[in-house]
Each structure stands twice: as structure tokens, then as C-alpha cells.
Amino acid sequence: MQQTKSQSMAAERQFDYERSFQRRKEIYSRVCNDIVSTVLSGYTGPVAIRLWNGELACGMPGAPATVTVHDSGVLRELLLHRDLLRLTDAYLAGLIDVEGDMEALFDLKQYLAAGKLSRGSRLRLLGQALRLPMRDTHATTRGRRADRSARRNSRASIEHHYDVSNEFYRLWLGPEMVYSCAYFSSPGQPLAEAQRDKLDYLCRKLRLQPGQTLLDIGCGWGALALWAARHYGVQVHGITLSQEQYRLARERVRKAGLEQQVQIELRDYRDLDAGTQYDRIVSVGMFEHVGVKNYPLYFGTVQQVLKPGGLFLNHGITSENGWQCTPLTRFMNHYIFPDGELARISEVTNAMEHAGFEIVDVESLRRHYPLTLRHWVSALELNRDAAVRKSDETTYRLWRLYMAGCAHYFDEGSIGVHQILAGHLHRHLPLPLRRDDLYTRLEVNEEVQS
């Protein structure tokens, strides 16, 4: 009898707990719905907001992008702290999911930036936020945050980004393993073909000739080095700070049978032998790691190891407003490039001129980068399960968010990418009077071996 009474009391307590828990969840749902509907009042864009119970707080079913909030504490933190890095942490931890077009999410960001609430509405929302529980911090991960104590452009900072896994990058970069924007003849051109066009375009801009020496600073997985050696007959010295890139690049050189033409080294550009000079120097997608304060050293080093009459091509991302402290730049430095900085194109060309270069050609490829990034995001999403196996869930989510965001910002024009061709000041440079030769494409259909 006593046991039956105890069991009955335990069942009653469990029932009361479950009923109380359910009431709290209903309250949290109403509060979150109120917060979202107030903040997004009048929003008619492509993003819908769904709560953990399946209720749509904003938008319509079948929206291009649907954000599902699994934890009400996420909205509490967003309102109380207004820190987008906390929101990113929540997404990386799986407390928020995004279905559909990740890039559409940034339409919502623009709306929030432009929207203004009255003081009374803000105070009411803060009060509502305090009714919500704190976020489940045990579910939060900061595993991909960068260690910023390392030397700028050091091996540690490069490895943070590039040594995720060669297999991870191979899933979405394409057969050439080129981690920079392609060069499209039309928006519908296949990515692999557009990347081969870019490799060849770089070689034509450098006016490569058989027997010349080419230094490739930040050679990545060796695509350009292999292309230049195979199709232009040059001797290539490629350097990288990534152990994973170094390993795969050397393997690709060996498989291509080009060991006599291509040398890949794990080396910092600051450690180049000042006594060795090259006919041509190229740097693609590495410049973003240098840091504005290091421009004199970087360009001075390149100027020192470039032969008189040689050519240098610098391909790098630029920023409309320079590297200011914004939510975007904090996100990039916290999660993606721990030492990354972007500068205005005018700052870059000024630094090159101060180092003793004559600028002979500047071209913007900004419109090509959103096309490239959308191919990458699509391939990453298509290979989601394999990407998680080759890295982890956090890395998959981070790269999906990062690349979709970059596509948005390249498309709107706040960031760009420029190719700058230069040579020594007051030197006769090996260039024709017109640019006609740049558009005479080398007819090659052969892929670089991966």
C-alpha cells in the first residue's frame, strides 16, 4: 500500500513537472513570436523564421530560406547583447538551422540594419527577452575560433584555415583545386572550365615564355604551378605555409611527372633567398593574409627577388572601405582568417608604387567571385555528409555560412578582387603596346591532375 502511494505521488510530481514545463515552453513560444514579429514587422523578404515547435513567426511556408530557432535563449542573447558572433556560435552549435538558400539570409541582415524601433518598443522587447531562459551554453562550440596570438601571416594562422582537410576542399573546389575566383566567359560556364580559363589568363598576363623562372607565392595545392609548367614550359618555385597544401601539391607534381620543372616548398615569403631572382612572380589569394602594416615588407621582398625587366602579378581581395571593425570583419578574424585584412585598391597600388613598382595593368574580377562562390556553396551542400565526415559538423556549417556571406558581399560590391600587373619602375617591361594578346586563349582541354 505504501509503495503504491509513493508511486502515485511520484507520478503526480512528474505530471506537475511536465505540465509546468509545457506551460513554460508555451510562454517562451509566445514571447519569441512577439519578439520576431515586432522586430520584423513589415518584412516581406525571402527569409522565414520558424520556432522549435514548427510555428512560423515570420514569413511564409516554402520561403527561399527558412531559419529554425531551436533554443529561445538565442533570441534572448541577440536582444541583450546585439553580438552577431553569439548568433554565429548558436548556428555552429546547431541551436539555429538554415534551410534553403543560405545567401538569402543576408537580405534579412540588411533589413535589420536599416530598421529602427521606437524607444518604447526597444524597452518592451528587452523586458520580453529577460523572460526567456539563458541559452544552453553546453551546446555552444567555439572550436573553430582562431588563435590570434600567432605571428601575422605565420604558419599557425595559415594552417587554421587551409589545413582543415585536403579531402574536405576537394569535395567542392573542383578538379583543379583552385581556391580563388574563376574567370567566367558567361554565368552559365562550368566552374572547372572557368578555373582553367583563369589559370591560363594569369599565365598570359605574365607573358610567360619557355625557360623562364616563376615564383608562386602562396601556391596552394599547386594548380597554377602545374599549369604554367605544363603549358608554358617555365621553371616554377611554389611556396606555401600550409602543411596539407604542401603535401598534396608535391604529390600532384610527382603524378604529373614535372619534378624537374616544379619545386614546392614549405616556406614563408619573408624567408626567401635574397640572392635568387625570378623572371616572373605571381601571388593569387595569399595577399589577404599579409596585413596592411606588412605591405612595405611584402612588396619590398617581391621587388628584391624580381629580376630587372620582370613582371609581378598580385591577385587579391580588396575592400571598398578598408579593414574597419565591423561585425563582418570580427566574424572573419574570429572564425576564418585570424590575420586577414583587406585594403582599398588605392592603398594597395600606393604601397606597390612606394616599393618601387610601376603599375601597368589593373583589372577588377569582382563579378566573377559571386559566381564562383555559388558553385562552391552548391557543391558543399550537395556533399554535406561527406564534408562532415572529412571534417566535422561545425566546419561544414562555418564554411557554408562564410562562403554564402562572401557571395552576398561581392555581389553588392563592398568587397572586390583585383589583379594588378607591375614591373620595376623606370625599366623596359616585356609588354606589347596593346592588350590584344590577353584575349587569345591557349587552346587546351587537359585538366591538371588532382
Task: Enumerate the β-bridge partners of residue 237.
Answer: 215, 263
CA atoms within a 13 Å half-sphere pointing along the CA-CB vector of 92: 23
Distance of CA 33 to the CA centre of its chain: 33
Cα dist. 371→197, 399, 417 in Å? 14, 16, 13
Backbone dihedral region for residue 285 (phi beyond 0: left; psi -120 to 50: alpha; all else: beta):
left
Residue with cell 608562386: 216
Query: Which amino acid makes up residue 141?
Result: T
Distance of CA 208 to the CA centre of its chain: 30
Query: 109 with 88: CB under 8 angstroms?
Result: no
Query: Which amino acid makes up residue 132?
Result: L
Cα dist. 194→175, 187, 239, 253, 286 in Å? 11, 10, 24, 22, 20
CA gap 391, 399 in Å, rounded? 11
CA gap 241, 115 in Å, rounded? 44
Backbone angles phi, psi at 297, to 5 degrees: -65, -45
CA gap 225, 291 in Å, rounded? 25
Residues with active-site annotation: 406
